[in-house]
Amino acid sequence: VRGPVDVTLFVPPDRHAGTALHVQLEASIRDAVREGRLPPGTPLPSSRTFAEELGISRGVVVEAYAQLAAEGHVTARGGSSTRVAEVPPAARAAGAADVRVPRYDFHPYVPDLAAFPADVWLRSTTRAVRHAPFGALGYSPTPGVPQLRTVLATYLGRARGVAASEDRVLVCNGHTQGFALVCRVLRARGTRRIALEDPGFFLHRDIAGRAGLEPVPVPVDEDGLDVERLAASGAEATLVTAAHQSPTGAVLSPRRRQALIAWARSTDALVVEDDYDAEFRFDRDPVGALQAAAPDHVIYAGSASKILAPALRLGWLVLPPSVRDDVVAEKELDDLATPALEQLTLAEFISRGALDRHLRRMRPHYRSRRRALVRALGRHLPEARVVGVPAGLHLLALLPPDVSEDAVLAAAGERRVAVRGLGPTRFDPAAAPPGLMLGYASQPEEMLAQGVSELAGAVAAVRRGEESAARAR
C-alpha cells in the first residue's frame, strides 16, 4: 500500500502572488497529476497535514480538493482519504473532439457533486441491503418499492405541498423517463399536440417528438408560461416548470396558476408539472406545487438529480387516477422497474432525515455561490442582465442584443470556459436574444469570479472583433 505523497512535492502557495491560495494549490496538484508525477490511486496528504506543513489554513486545502474532485482529478471522501483519480479526466473525455479540460465550468444542470453526502448514502445502502427481505432481490413492483413510494408521498406532501398517496406514486429513472412515459400514454390516447415552454428545457421537445407528439411553443415572460397563448395554441396537454422556469427563472404567478388550472379543467387537459429544482429558493420559502390545486389534472414530476445527484437516475411521478395504470403499463414495458436497491437506499436516506439535512446544508451553500456569481457579473460584465428569482442551480444572464451569442460561446471556449447559451432552449434558436445560462452550483466562489472575468474577456474580444469587421466593411 502506497502511503500519502510527500508534501514537499508541491510548490507552497505564495500569499503575495495575487492569486488565491487554494487556486495556486489546485494548480500545483493538477499539474502533478497531469504530468504523471502522481500516479492514479496515489493517496494525497490529509488536509490537516497539508495545511500544517505548508503553513496554510485547512480550509484552503479543503477548497482545493473539492475543486479537483469536481474536475475529476482526485476522488475525495473527506480530506483524509483523498486520492488521485484512477481514470484521469482527459482519458475519460477521449473520443471527444476537444479533450482540453475546461478551467471554469458553468454547467447549468448539475448540483455540487463534491458535496454529495457519500458517507450517509453508503450507510443508507448498507442498512437498506441488510434489512431488505430476500424478496426485495426478485422482480420488484413496477410502480416502485412500497417503502420508497410511502416515504416520497410523505416527503412531497410536507416539502412541496403535493397531494400524494403511495398508490399514485411511480418511481422512474429520472424525470427524463417519467416524461417520456407520460408522452407515450398521451399519444396512445389520441393527444396530438403538447405545449412546451419557449424558452424551455431542450430535452422536453425531443422526448415529446420521439413519442409522436407535436411540441407547440408557448412563450414565457416574467410571470412564467403565458396561459392565454397556451389556450389559443390548440394544445391538448402542457408541461410547466412552475416553481422556477427553466431557463428564465420566472415563477408562475398566482393569476397564471389559476388560469392554467381553469384551462386544464375546462378542456380536460393534463398538465405535467416539472418540479426539477424547487427545493432551492433562496429569498423565501419555495412556492408550493401547482399539483395540490388540481391533483386530477396535474401530473407532478420530481427528481433526485438536483437535490442529490443526476447519476442516481431516480425520479418520481405523482399521477392522477385517470392515467396512473396506463403510465405504469408503459413503465413495465420499458424496464419492468427502477433498480430496487437504489430505491430502498433513497427510502432509508429520506426517512432518516438525511435529505432534509442535506438540503439545509446546500441552500446556504448555493445561495452564497449565486450571490458571488451575481457580484462578479456586476463587477466584470455589468452589461449582462440577470433575470429570474434567486433559486435553483443556475441563472440566466441576458447579453446586449448586438452581441452574438455563438461568438461569445466560441470565444469562451478558446479561454477554456465551458458555458451554454440560450439558443438551444428556444424552438427557433435564431429568435433567441443572446444570453448565457450560468450554473453556479459546482464551482467555489473564487472560481466563479475568475470564470466571469474570463467571460467578460470573451465578450470584449467579440466586440473588438465585430468592430474591426465593421470597420473593414
Ligand X SMILES: Cc1ncc(COP(=O)(O)O)c(C=O)c1O
Which residue, 176 or 238, is less far from ligand X as judged by CB? 176
Residue choice 50, 106, 201, 349 for contact with ligand X (CB under 6 A): 201
Looking at residue 12, the DSSP 8-state letter turns out to be P
Q: Which CB sits closer to ligand X, 63 or 277? A: 277
Q: Quick check: 392 binds ligand X (CB under 6 A)?
A: no
CA distance 301 to 162: 10
The size of the interface with ligand X (CB under 6 A), counted in residues, is: 13
Told to check if 439 binds ligand X by CB under 6 A, we report no
Question: Which of these ranges, 26-34, 50-58, 171-179, 405-413, lies near ligand X under the rule CB under 6 A?
Answer: 171-179
The minimum distance between CB 276 and ligand X, in angstroms, equals 4
The DSSP line for 259-280 is HHHHHHHHHT-EEEEE-TTTT-
Within 8-37, which residues bind ligand X (CB under 6 A)? none
Select from 88, 50, 97 the least CA-distant residue to 68.
88
Provide, rounded to whole angstroms, the least separation between the CB of residue 338 and ligand X: 12
Phi first, then psi, for residue 62 (nearest 5°) are -60, -45
The C-alpha atoms of residue 400 and residue 437 are separated, in whole angstroms, by: 15
Instruction: Write the DSSP string, 435-450.
Output: EEEEE-TTS-HHHHHH
142 lies in the binding site for ligand X (CB under 6 A): no
- To the nearest whole angstrom, how small is the minimum distance from the Cβ of residue 310 to ligand X? 5
Pairing type for strands 435-439 and 420-421 reads antiparallel
Q: Which residue is nearest to ligand X (CB)?
A: 174
Closer residue to ligand X, CB minimum distance, 238 or 303 = 303
Q: Quick one: which segment of 14-22, 44-52, 75-83, 303-311 binds ligand X (CB under 6 A)? A: 303-311
Min. distance of Cβ 244 from ligand X in angstroms? 9
Residue of 10, 104, 109, 300 that binds ligand X (CB under 6 A): 109
Q: Which residue reads 389559476 in cell numbers?
A: 258
- Contacting residue, 82, 142, 246, 248, with ligand X by CB under 6 A: 246
Query: Does 276 sit near ligand X (CB under 6 A)?
Result: yes
Inter-CA distances, 375 with 20, 276, 334, 372, 390, Å: 17, 26, 46, 5, 13
Closer CB to ligand X, 52 or 334, in the complex = 334
CB 67 within 8 A of CB 443: yes
Secondary structure (DSSP) of 115-166 = G--HHHHHHHHHHHHHHS-GGGGSPPPTT--HHHHHHHHHHHHHHH-----G
Select the span of 172-180, 183-191, 362-370, 455-463 touching ligand X (CB under 6 A): 172-180
Least distance from C-beta 416 to ligand X, angstroms? 23
Contact predicate 399/432, CB 8 Å: no
CA distances from 113 to 53, 55, 441 (A): 28, 28, 9
- For residues 13 and 286, which CB has a smaller minimum distance to ligand X in the complex? 286
Taking the complex as a whole, how short is the minimal distance between the CB of residue 211 and ligand X, in angstroms?
A: 15
440 binds ligand X (CB under 6 A): no
DSSP character at residue 213: -
Stretch binding ligand X (CB under 6 A), from 45-53, 170-178, 249-257, 326-334: 170-178
User: Residue 26 or residue 330: which is nearer to ligand X going by CB?
Assistant: 330
Q: Please, are residues 412 and 456 in contact by the beta-carbon 8 Å criterion?
A: no
Find the shortest distance in angstroms from Cβ 424 to ligand X: 12
Q: Does 174 bind ligand X (CB under 6 A)?
A: yes
Classify strands 104-105 and 417-418 as parallel, antiparallel or unpaired: parallel
Q: Measure the CA–CA gap between 206 and 439, rounded to whole angstroms.
A: 22
Looking at the Cβ atoms of 246 and 443, the one nearer to ligand X is 246
Cβ(380)–Cβ(456) under 8 Å? yes
**How do strand 193-198 and strand 315-318 relate by DSSP bridges?**
unpaired
Q: Which is nearer to ligand X, 56 or 308 (CB)?
A: 308
Of residues 42, 147, 176, 338, which one binds ligand X by CB under 6 A? 176
Q: Which of residues 34-93 bind ligand X (CB under 6 A)?
A: none
Give the integer Cα–Cα distance in Å for 25 and 41: 19
The distance of closest approach from Cβ of residue 34 to ligand X in the complex, given in angstroms and rounded to an integer, is 30
Alpha-carbon distance values, 261 to 240, 254, 272, 373, 386 (Å): 12, 11, 12, 36, 30
CB 346 within 8 A of CB 304: yes
Q: Which is nearer to ligand X, 54 or 271 (CB)?
A: 271
Whichever of 109 and 440 has its CB closer to ligand X, that residue is: 109
Per CB under 6 A, the list member of 142, 303, 338, 425 interacting with ligand X is 303
- Decide: is 241 part of the binding site for ligand X (CB under 6 A): yes
Contact string 304-333 vs ligand X (x = CB under 6 A) = -x----x----x------------------
Residues near ligand X, by CB under 6 A: 109, 174-176, 201, 241, 246, 274, 276, 303, 305, 310, 315
